[in-house]
Homo-oligomer: A and B are copies of this chain.
């Protein structure tokens, strides 16, 4: 791994980019929502699910993906969208509900579609899994070696779609990889209170597919496991399941008072924030601080530009709501 300099630099930069994206959202989200927090108000109404802390999952997987590989993500999609290369300006504009957003403002933060890089996401738990199997099968039938990756939370692993999709993928030997971002919580419910097994990789055997567990929210660990799984898929050997032990540094959605979390938990998790930790590792392993600084700066600049673009962009005409219901 340590030899793979450019990939690691890319992963680091994408993590920084993703985190900066969320950091830009935070104040914007609260604009117009104070003094009394009201989700309906401000430039970013509705639920907002941030991915702070989960960046390693996105970058370690997407480092192996091409534009023609498909990714389906969840209600918590920003880090994955960014790592998959979704157009940053159009993504920011979409989240602000603007005219030049990915969908002209129709989709919003839980419905980001960018066909240029085959990315999409959905707000219904585990329901992106079937489409990922389908995209994988489409590639297979078209004679391409493209693969598909479905991301899901550990809470989603108890939804029926999980079972059906893993079985179907295995029976059809679909070139797909299922990636569980295990952040220990489904909103307020801890994994231990709702999942019969300690680790969801124990379920992989029930679908005759390999399961990989990645500990410590480690980008290099994700990269390695994803490499094995994606190579397997690309070479026509079938699906895999990956479970990544990650951490949710924010509330389930913005404004979540998190009364269900032990008081010091977030603090402890923040101390293990994967981004500074990865930077420290890279430095220890010989990366040039200035190179890292430059990558960070460039990543942040792109995000800043995207937010400027989004803010400056107009709202669509209301009556355009009637467009695109049908193709």
Would you give the 0/1 interface string for A220-245, flagging 1 where the beta carbon is closer than 8 Å to chain B? 00000000000000000000000000
Residues on B with C-beta less than 8 A from A162 are: 160, 163
Residues on B with C-beta less than 8 A from A194 are: 167, 171
Measured CA separation A206–B163 after assembly (Å) = 11
Which of B159, B170, B193, B196 makes the CB contact (< 8 A) with A196?
Answer: B170
Measured CA separation A196–B210 after assembly (Å) = 12
Known A-B contacts A171-B195, A171-B196; the reply to A206 vs B209 at CB < 8 A is: no
Report copies per complex: 2
Instruction: Let me know if A164 is at the binding interface, CB within 8 A.
Output: yes
Instruction: Let me know if A306 is at the binding interface, CB within 8 A.
Output: no
Measured CA separation A263–B164 after assembly (Å) = 31
Would you give the 0/1 interface string for A159-199, flagging 1 where the beta carbon is closer than 8 Å to chain B? 11111101110110000000000000000000001111100
Smallest CB-CB separation from A160: which chain B residue?
Answer: B160
Residues on B with C-beta less than 8 A from A196 are: 166-167, 170-171, 206-209
**Are B170 and A164 interface neighbours, CB within 8 A?**
no
Task: Give the Cβ gap from A197 to chain B, nearest Cβ, in Å.
Answer: 5
Number of A residues with CB within 8 Å of any CB on chain B: 24
**Are A164 and B160 interface neighbours, CB within 8 A?**
yes
Measured CA separation A161–B159 after assembly (Å) = 9
Instruction: Let me know if A203 is at the binding interface, CB within 8 A.
Output: yes
Instruction: Let me know if A158 is at the binding interface, CB within 8 A.
Output: yes
Instruction: Let me know if A205 is at the binding interface, CB within 8 A.
Output: yes
Residues on B with C-beta less than 8 A from A209 are: 196
Smallest CB-CB separation from A164: which chain B residue?
Answer: B160
Smallest CB-CB separation from A197: which chain B residue?
Answer: B208
Measured CA separation A163–B167 after assembly (Å) = 11
Instruction: Let me know if A288 is at the binding interface, CB within 8 A.
Output: no
Measured CA separation A168–B195 after assembly (Å) = 8
**Are B161 and A167 interface neighbours, CB within 8 A?**
no
Measured CA separation A160–B196 after assembly (Å) = 16
Instruction: Let me know if A202 is at the binding interface, CB within 8 A.
Output: yes
Residues on B with C-beta less than 8 A from A164 are: 158-160, 163
Measured CA separation A164–B163 after assembly (Å) = 9
Would you give the 0/1 interface string for A85-114, flagging 1 where the beta carbon is closer than 8 Å to chain B? 000000000000000000000000000000
Measured CA separation A162–B195 after assembly (Å) = 14
Task: Give the Cβ gap from A126 to chain B, nearest Cβ, in Å.
Answer: 9
Measured CA separation A195–B196 after assembly (Å) = 22
**Are B208 and A205 interface neighbours, CB within 8 A?**
no
Would you give the 0/1 interface string for A238-259, flagging 1 where the beta carbon is closer than 8 Å to chain B? 0000000000000000000000
Chain A residues close to B by CB (< 8 Å) = 158-164, 166-168, 170-171, 193-197, 202-203, 205-209
15 examples of A-B residue contacts, CB within 8 angstroms:
A158-B167, A158-B168, A159-B164, A160-B163, A163-B164, A167-B194, A167-B196, A171-B193, A171-B195, A171-B196, A196-B208, A197-B206, A202-B206, A205-B205, A206-B206
